[in-house]
Amino acid sequence: MLSQRANLISGSKTSGMRNLAARLKAEGKPVVNFAAGELDDNISDVVKHAAIQAVIAGNNKYTETIGIPELRQAIAIRLSQQTGLDWSADEVAVTAGAKQALFNTAMMLFNPGDEVIIPAPYWTTFPTQIRLTGALPIFVDTALTGYVLDSAAIAEKISQRTKAIVLNTPNNPTGSVIHADVLGEIAALAEQHGLWVIFDQCYSDFVYAEAQHLNILQIAPNLRSRVVIIDSFSKSHALAGWRVGYAAAPKALTAACSNLQSHTTSNPNAIAQIGALAALEHYDSRYHEKVLARLNANRQLGLQILQSLRDVEVITPEGGFYFYLNIRCKINGQAAEGQISNCAQLVEHLLANAQVAVVGGEAFGDLNGLRISYAINESDLEQGLWRIVNCLNAIVEPR
């Protein structure tokens, strides 16, 4: 009954666990939701007031397909400041979140048979969108190098069919940040082999003192004609539900994405665009400093609690707002109700016995991982993490 394409798609495990946790909480169950990939913060007053005024002013009409010119120009100015290169509004396409920006890019770049290199663990949507184009995702396992990306591992995967490399820094789910030397080495590989680089920096506003986020074009400006920058207002401005993201790319690709978007969403949400414009034109530094300080405090508290885990590797996040655990030693371990045979069973075990919702690593191409968001209130964070520690520590290796 369904198309062959439908068989390439299964529901997002991150969205599925987030929705399940929300339903359980609505039923009155004391579930701590560590699955949501969004800030537990209200939006800034600057954004809020701009959106309200847009509603009052009657901004309810279609906008240009890839966003209002003022927002695209404001994004171009931001990118110029970030990269040290000149950007124009016609190189920016505003989309319904970064997810649509990635989808448009994949559909307009990749042909059946192309290969696209993706470091793993990866954000769950990357390979699904690539497969929808008929291209093939090729994975580089960073678990082998402590979840730190190695350019040599990228080089080993390059073939005559390779079309692009997807880079996500800070990484979702591990929180690792790609360092300058590695970015430079990957840029050299892309230039040598004529590859595109899809550079997803949606978590770049959340980087901690020991790390530094760099855009690849700061390292390799000569790669400008083959780089697509993906970003979003969802994380940085707590606007996940508003669905505002963007792709910045060479004009020909932006125009092609505009043609595609004209047949899908027509345009991004008009009111959300006004809010995003206000966020850029009237940057609220106190709001962002407050959010980052709270996240850093949660990060420190969480790392302190997670030190009590036994036989579990905790990856210290350099950016983003997730803890990532390597729970390989708990797979095939013995719990009160029986053996835990895989990561999915462990996630179910935590939900049933610790009443916490986490996302299993299989969603990210890693059968031995757990992702835990710490972008929640401090009380839930502390209570929920202790539940995880006690529940995981109770799982023992069978003799």
CB 297 within 8 A of CB 378: yes
Whole-angstrom Cα distance, residue 369 to residue 124? 13
* 303 φ/ψ angles, rounded to the nearest 5 degrees: -60, -35
By DSSP bridging, strand 227-232 and strand 245-248 are antiparallel
What is 5-30+286-393's CATH number?
Answer: 3.90.1150.10
CA–CA separation, 369 and 360 (whole Å): 6
Q: Where are the domains of the chain?
A: 5-30+286-393, 61-281
One digit per residue, the tens of pLDDT, for the chain of length 399 reads: 788 888 877 766 666 666 676 776 677 778 899 998 888 888 889 999 999 999 999 999 999 999 999 999 999 999 999 999 999 999 999 999 999 999 999 999 999 999 999 999 999 999 999 999 999 999 999 998 999 999 999 999 999 999 999 999 999 999 999 999 999 999 999 999 999 999 999 999 999 978 899 999 999 999 999 999 999 999 988 889 899 999 999 999 999 999 999 999 999 999 999 999 999 999 888 989 999 999 999 999 999 999 999 999 999 999 999 999 999 998 887 776 778 889 988 998 999 889 999 999 999 999 999 999 999 999 999 999 999 999 999 988 765
Task: Give the sign of the dihedral formed by CA 341, CA 12, CA 208, CA 120.
Answer: positive
294 to 41, 222, 286, 301, 375: CA distances (angstroms): 10, 38, 12, 11, 9
Right CATH for 61-281 from 1.20.1440.120, 3.40.640.10, 3.40.50.720, 3.90.1150.10: 3.40.640.10
Query: Reading across the β-sheet that carries 196-200, which strands appear in turn?
Result: 92-95, 245-248, 227-232, 196-200, 162-168, 115-120, 136-141
DSSP SS3 for 16: helix
CA–CA distance, 164 with 104 (Å, rounded to integer): 15
Q: What is the pTM of this model?
A: 0.92
The CA distance from 112 to 135, in Å, is 5
Bond before 121 cis per omega within 30 degrees: yes
